[in-house]
Every structure is written in structure tokens, then in C-alpha cells.
């Protein structure tokens, strides 16, 4: 039997009208605005297959650019299943991957040896450290990471050292180092990631013959995640395309969340203008989420002004409403996540399909702790567990030395961290002395201190910590370490965004404040251990070690997925918990101060909402520890932008939990630092720190109150609307 269907109709089967229009677009440039869950990968891949099958292009005349290796592999696999072609011959890969291919082919023109090596980020850092040494520049003057960040940022802007203006002496010094760095790389025949891109761009720009060759070769250039391209990537694409190629760019301006990495959302408008695209093709049919979730996402993103504009729709049912829970504290919030996850598990839902999202990394600690104590396995996607993070391990190494200075590993970790001018040679001498005399590195350092001033200063720092053991509470020792070690100052002065690391160090101090040694999970404690003045510290350190290793799900084991909203981009889950939804946390306080910052945060919120397929929980905490102080939170403006008809407000369970997930005792806490849980005084039925709603001003938090007998005068912070004084007799206030 002959099939009456043409092969192409089989290829186009099952596409909706918008997808079909995009896949079969005539051979001219297009911008496809693909909303979350609208089948973007399918459209891209089917477009390539369609171009090949209808003989509009050959494997040699197509270039497809993705952002991640994972996306490139997925496209290769899908293409191979659709159409019998030699995929290897096609230029399909990431920007860096394709530039690498290009430089291998034309290494001679690029002035590179045939066997040039690629430096990953660690290799690049080592080379920079070596360079600073030869230039005799101490790490205190220019930190290696600062120089690394500077070089990469300049390259991504397409600038060599000779093209940068120096506004001040420090920048001049950085530019000189960058020029030297380029020389060393050239001499050693090595290329860093940013160089792959810049060198390819320069070669295309300067070599007309080569440029013409490629512009004649590729008649179709397809680009994925176009909203994430930076200026250099876009400039490179333009050179490759010339005036002939049809550029088919797929992206979503509402999901552009990498501004901090140089992503330039303006590339979309530039593409439309420079490639004469009058209207974007919009993919607005969503195949991921139920109706209520999409209604929320659409309503939130509508508040951004500079959008190309689209509205997601679905044929799916409205589904469950979004569950909103305002928890009394961050412990209660974490506990709520645990209980709901367990109930999803009982319903037969897989833990792999449950994700907990947060705006900043530090928020994971309280959630990790609750998961650990409940025995639920979890994985942190795209990141490290709290106690495995570099800055946490540094700070804990100081704490280990306070109770046991002979711990060589801990000493080696921090003797020059943050950099205090104790170089590799000095450390080698200490190791030799320790081996020869059979003593620990600490004892060798004490002996060497007489001759070496920098070692002596380190010894004094540790000695000072040792005197505090048993004299001061753990929380105070911990906050002293973070401050006196110089770690905070170090991360504050490093180039690039280290706010995450600073937040994590803050969170470590919170962990020490909340910690109760007697509740720690030790199966068998030695007799009289609690009499040891170092006991709280030992218990805290053991706890940290256990929490970092335990419960980490093994390969193939089902686990709750924890991640920042940034890390969640491109992923989807049946159930999503979006936590910490307070004003100043999400949107983050820092973003509110930057131009365009709030819009970027709102796009991030849009990404967060659209990760959920079936069920979305949004949670907040009315109070949490911040910088060792109790802070009262008010609900994020983004929650207020969600239509109330798609929200289901959950009420607070009456049991309050302590930090260990056990019902909290109402007896007064013996530890003064966390004496925040006394029965709060009420004012006409309201209490300070409570969240309320007002018809005109929206949601606010009560920050002060005066009792007036029959009524009370409340001072309420309404976030965007400012602080108001209202009398309960006249003002209609709803409890939340």
C-alpha cells in the first residue's frame, strides 16, 4: 500500500496553528516569542527537519545555536528520530561549542597553535594567580577572582585591554594585568571560554574572505533562548548571517533573567529592526500548566511595561487553585512544606516531581534542616547543600580550630583564606617543620611565629578564638568568627556578585543562634560530655557534618528537588513550592534600587510560577531571623498581583513548631537570644508582626500599636503604600 500522505505532513502532524506557522515560515528572518511550556524545542527541531525534508536547506547550510549542552543533545536526539540525516555534519551546538569548532578549523588565521587548549574557570584562576605572582602584585591589592571577573566581563563586551578607558588607578592596574594575561595565554597557546567567542568574532570581522565564505555557506541560522544572548554573541551572529541568511530566533522576553550575566533583552528589539521583522510569531498555547497557574503568571507579568506582549492560554482545565500560606515563622513555613510534601507522597506523587524554589541560596538552610529531620531525601539542583558551600566550610574551619587547633585540614583551609599574605612557600616550610619534628601544623606555626609576622598574626587570631570557648555563647563566637576572620570583608570587596555568600554567612550565624546542643541528633553521647565547655561547638560541628552528608539522595533515588528560581529555568514539576514570598526578599531589596531591577524580578516570578504543572504553593513567613535579628515580613507585591479568585488562602495550624520540627513548648525559652516566642500581647485582637489586609492600601504588617481601651491605634507598613496609622474602630482590617 502506498501512503497518500507526504512525508512532510507526517512531520507537521499534531502541531497547533501557531507552531505550524513558525515551523513552515518562509526562508526569511523571524522572531518566535515562545511562552513558557509552549513547545519551543519542538518548534525549533521540527523547523530544522522541515527545512531539510523540503530541500530548502542541507545539513551543511544550517547552523543551530543553543545555550546549554543539554539543549544541544536533546535537539540532536529529537532530530535523529525525525529524519535520517548525518547530524554530526551539522553545525549544531552552544555558542562556545561552535566557536571552538570554528577556531580549530581556522587556528592559523586566528594566530593559535593547532593543539590549543581550553581553560575552564579553575584553570583560568590558577593562571591568573601565577601571573599576579610574576608581576609581584599581592592578592590583597588585586584578588585573583576580581581580575578573573574583570577580564571575562571585558571580553564579553568585545573589548581588548587597549580599548578600555581607565577612570581611576585601580582600573588602570586591572587593564595592565589584562594585557599581560592576554600575552601569557598567547604564549602558552591556551584559550579561556570568553576568548573562544571574542577571538572568533575578531577573526570574522577582520578576515573578509572567511566572513564571505560563512555568509555564503549558512542560509539558515536558528537560535534558541535568544533572550539570554549578550552583546558579543549577537554581534557574532550578525557577522555569520551577513545579508543573506534567514535568522530564526526563538525566545521569551518574559523569561529574560540573566541580566547580571550580561544578557541583553534589547537584542530582541534590535533583531526585529536589523533583520526587518515586522511582527513576532507568538506561541501562546501552553502545554504544561493548568488554567489557574497560567492566569496567575499572565496577571503578574502584565505589570511589566516594556514587553513584546503575549498571553499564555491552555486547553487544560482550571485545575486546583494556587494555595497561599502565610506562616508565623520560617520554621513553620518549612514544616508546612514537609507536611504537604508527605501528603503528596501519600497520594502516590513522586518526590522527583516536587520542587521547592527560593530567591536566594541562603534560604535553603531552614528548609534543608526540616527535610533532614523529617527523613525526606532531597537534592539541590545546580548547587551545593548549605554546609558544603565554600564560605560555610571556611567559617566552620575557624570554629574547628577554636576547639582543636591541631586539625591540620582546617588550618590549611584558612591559614590564607581570606588572603593574608601567607604564601605557598611559607606553608611548605610549616609542613616540612611539622614532618621533621613530628608536631601538628599549628604547633609549627606557633614556633615559626617568632620570625614570620603574618603567621604570628594568624596564630593570635586563633588564640583569641580559643579563649572564647566556654566563655561566650556559640552564637557570639560564630558571629565573631565571620567578622574577625575577615571573610565578610573579603566577599564584600571581591569583584562580581558575592551577595549569596554573604547571605549564607549570615544564615550560619542564625543557625548558631537557634542551635540547641541537647537536641542534636547524637545516638550515643559520651558520659559527662555536656560538662565540656566546648560541647555546644562540638555538637554544632557534628550536626553540620551530618547534615551535609546524610539524606543526600543517591543516584536514581527519588528526592525532593531544591533550587533557586534561576536554577529552575527550563524545568517543570507537578508540584512547586515557591517560598519566602515577602517584600524585600522577592522582589529582592537590592533589585529595587537598580534601574529595571523590579522588571527583572517580575520576570523571575513569571519563570517561578510557570514551572508548576498541576499544583503551586506560595508561602511566606511573618517573621524570620535576619542578621541575627527577628524581622517581620509583609507579603510580596507579586502575590498581590495574582487575581484573588485563583488563590486559596490556607489558615495557620494552631501548633507552633520549634526549629527541630517538634511542637514548640510554651514555657519561656532559657536562651535569651531566641526569646522571641513569648505569647504576644494583643491590641483589640491584633498583634505586632501580624499581616493584615485593607481594602484601599492592600496587605500590610503591624509594626507598632497603642491600646486605647475599646480600640487600638495601629501603625501599619503597607509596603509600596507607605506606613499608615489606623484606628481599629474605624478602619476595616482583615486578618490574613
The residues annotated as belonging to the active site are 40-41, 224-225, 255, 611
Q: Is the peptide bond before 79 cis (omega within 30 degrees of 0)?
A: no
- Host H or E run for residue 329: none
* Exposed e or buried b per residue across 680-714, where buried means at least 16 C-beta atoms within 10 angstroms of its C-beta: eeebbebebbbbbbbeebebbbbeebeeeeeebbb
- Grid cell of 140 as nine digits: 590583597
Answer yes or no: are the C-beta atoms of 109 and 203 closer than 8 Å.
Answer: yes
The continuous run of DSSP H or E covering 381 comes out as none
Task: Find out whether 512 and 540 touch, Cβ atoms under 8 Å.
Answer: yes
CB 49 within 8 A of CB 83: yes
Query: For the chain, give me the number of helices (H) and strands (E)?
Result: 28, 24
CB 658 within 8 A of CB 668: no
A 10 A CB-CB count for 424 gives 10
Of 514, 510, 517, 509, which is closest to residue 487 (Cα–Cα)?
A: 509
Find the length of the chain.
736
N-to-C CA span, the chain = 68
Nearest to 131 by CA among 117, 118, 119, 148: 148
Q: What is the DSSP track for 423-456?
A: -HHHHHHHHHHHHHHT--HHHHHHHHTTT-HHHH
**CA proximity to 46, closest of 255, 240, 227, 54:** 54
- Rounded Cα–Cα distance for residues 312 and 638 (Å): 18
| DSSP-H helix ranges across 167-325 | 169-188, 193-206, 208-217, 231-241, 266-274, 291-301
Contact 241, 247 (CB under 8 A): yes
Amino acid at each position: 500500500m502506498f501512503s497518500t500522505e507526504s512525508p512532510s505532513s507526517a512531520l507537521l502532524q499534531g502541531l497547533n496553528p501557531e507552531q505550524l506557522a513558525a515551523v513552515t515560515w518562509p526562508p526569511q528572518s523571524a522572531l518566535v516569542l515562545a511562552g513558557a511550556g509552549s513547545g519551543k524545542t519542538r518548534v525549533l527541531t521540527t523547523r530544522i527537519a522541515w527545512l531539510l525534508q523540503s530541500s530548502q536547506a542541507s545539513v551543511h547550510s544550517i547552523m543551530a545555536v543553543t545555550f546549554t549542552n543539554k539543549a544541544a543533545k536533546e535537539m540532536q536526539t529529537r532530530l535523529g528520530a525525525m529524519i535520517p540525516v548525518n547530524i554530526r555534519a551539522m553545525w549544531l551546538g552552544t555558542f562556545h561549542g561552535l566557536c571552538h569548532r570554528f577556531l580549530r578549523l581556522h587556528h592559523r588565521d586566528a594566530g593559535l597553535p593547532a593543539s590549543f587548549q581550553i581553560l575552564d574557570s579553575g584553570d583560568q584562576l590558577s593562571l591568573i594567580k601565577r601571573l599576579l605572582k610574576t608581576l609581584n602584585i599581592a592578592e590583597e591589592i588585586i584578588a585573583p577572582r576580581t581580575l578573573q571577573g574583570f577580564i571575562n566581563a571585558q571580553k564579553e563586551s568585545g573589548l581588548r585591554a587597549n580599548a578600555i578607558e581607565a577612570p581611576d588607578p585601580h582600573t588602570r592596574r586591572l587593564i595592565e594585568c589584562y594585557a599581560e594575561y592576554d600575552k601569557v595565554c598567547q604564549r602558552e597557546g591556551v584559550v579561556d571560554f570568553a576568548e573562544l567567542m571574542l577571538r572568533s568574532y575578531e577573526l570574522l570581522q577582520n578576515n573578509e574572505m572567511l566572513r564571505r565564505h560563512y555568509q555564503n555557506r549558512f542560509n539558515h541560522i536558528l537560535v534558541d533562548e535568544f533572550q539570554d544572548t549578550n552583546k558579543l554573541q549577537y554581534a557574532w551572529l550578525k557577522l555569520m548571517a551577513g545579508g543573506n541568511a534567514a535568522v530564526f530566533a526563538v525566545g521569551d522576553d518574559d523569561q529574560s533573567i540573566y541580566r547580571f550575566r550580561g544578557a541583553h533583552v534589547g537584542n530582541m528589539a534590535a533583531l526585529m529592526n536589523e533583520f526587518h521583522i515586522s511582527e513576532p510569531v507568538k506561541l501562546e498555547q501552553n502545554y504544561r500548566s493548568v488554567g489557574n497557574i497560567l492566569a496567575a503568571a499572565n496577571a503578574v507579568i502584565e505589570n511589566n511595561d516594556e514587553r513584546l506582549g503575549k498571553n499564555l492560554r491552555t486547553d487544560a482545565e482550571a485545575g486546583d487553585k494556587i494555595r497561599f500560606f502565610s506562616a508565623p515563622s520560617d520554621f513553620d513555613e518549612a514544616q508546612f512544606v514537609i507536611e504537604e510534601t508527605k501528603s503528596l507522597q501519600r497520594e502516590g506523587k513522586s518526590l522527583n516531581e516536587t520542587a521547592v524554589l527560593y530567591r536566594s541560596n541562603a534560604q535553603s538552610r531552614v528548609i534543608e534542616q526540616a527535610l533532614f529531620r523529617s527523613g525526606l531525601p532531597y537534592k539541590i539542583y545546580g548547587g551545593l547543600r548549605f554546609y558544603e558551600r565554600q564560605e560555610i566550610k571556611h567559617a566552620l574551619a575557624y570554629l574547628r580550630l577554636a576547639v582543636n587547633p591541631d586539625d591540620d585540614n582546617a588550618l590549611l583551609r584558612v591559614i590564607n583564606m581570606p588572603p593574608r599574605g601567607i604564601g605557598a612557600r611559607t606553608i611548605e616550610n610549616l609542613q616540612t617543620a611539622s614532618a621533621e619534628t613530628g608536631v601538628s601544623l599549628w604547633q609549627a606555626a606557633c614556633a615559626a611565629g617568632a620570625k614570620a609576622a603574618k603567621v604570628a598574626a594568624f596564630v593570635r587570631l586563633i588564640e583569641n578564638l580559643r579563649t572564647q570557648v566556654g566563655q561566650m555563647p556559640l552564637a557570639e563566637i560564630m558571629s565573631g568568627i565571620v567578622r574577625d576572620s575577615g571573610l565578610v570583608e573579603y566577599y564584600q570587596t571581591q569583584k562580581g556578585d558575592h551577595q549569596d555568600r554573604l547571605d549564607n554567612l549570615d544564615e550560619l550565624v542564625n543557625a548558631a543562634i537557634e542551635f540547641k546542643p541537647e537536641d542534636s541528633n547524637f545516638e550515643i553521647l559520651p558520659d559527662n560530655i555536656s560538662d565540656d565547655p566546648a560541647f555546644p561547638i562540638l555538637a554544632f560541628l557534628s550536626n553540620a557534618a551530618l547534615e551535609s552528608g546524610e539524606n543526600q539522595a543517591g543516584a536514581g533515588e527519588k528526592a525532593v528537588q531544591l533550587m533557586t528560581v534561576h536554577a529552575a529555568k527550563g524545568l517543570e514539576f507537578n508540584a512547586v513550592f515557591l517560598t519566602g514570598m515577602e517584600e524585600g526578599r522577592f522582589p529582592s531589596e537590592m533589585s529595587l534600587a537598580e534601574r529595571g531591577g523590579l522588571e527583572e524580578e517580575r520576570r523571575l516570578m513569571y519563570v517561578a510560577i510557570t514551572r508548576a504543572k498541576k499544583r503551586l504553593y506560595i508561602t511566606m513567613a511573618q517573621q524570620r531571623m535576619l542578621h541575627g535579628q527577628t524581622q517581620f515580613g509583609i507579603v510580596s507585591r507579586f502575590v498581590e498581583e495574582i487575581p484573588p479568585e485563583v488563590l486559596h488562602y490556607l489558615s495557620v495550624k494552631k501548633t507552633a513548631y520549634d526549629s527541630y520540627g517538634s511542637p514548640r513548648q510554651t514555657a519561656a525559652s532559657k536562651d535569651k537570644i531566641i526569646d522571641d516566642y513569648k505569647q504576644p500581647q494583643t491590641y483589640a485582637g491584633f498583634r505586632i508582626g501580624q499581616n493584615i489586609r485593607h481594602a484601599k492600601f492592600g496587605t500590610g504588617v503591624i509594626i507598632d500599636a497603642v491600646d486605647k481601651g475599646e480600640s487600638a491605634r495601629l501603625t501599619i507598613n503597607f509596603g509600596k503604600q507607605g506606613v499608615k496609622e489606623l484606628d481599629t474602630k474605624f478602619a476595616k482590617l482583615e486578618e490574613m
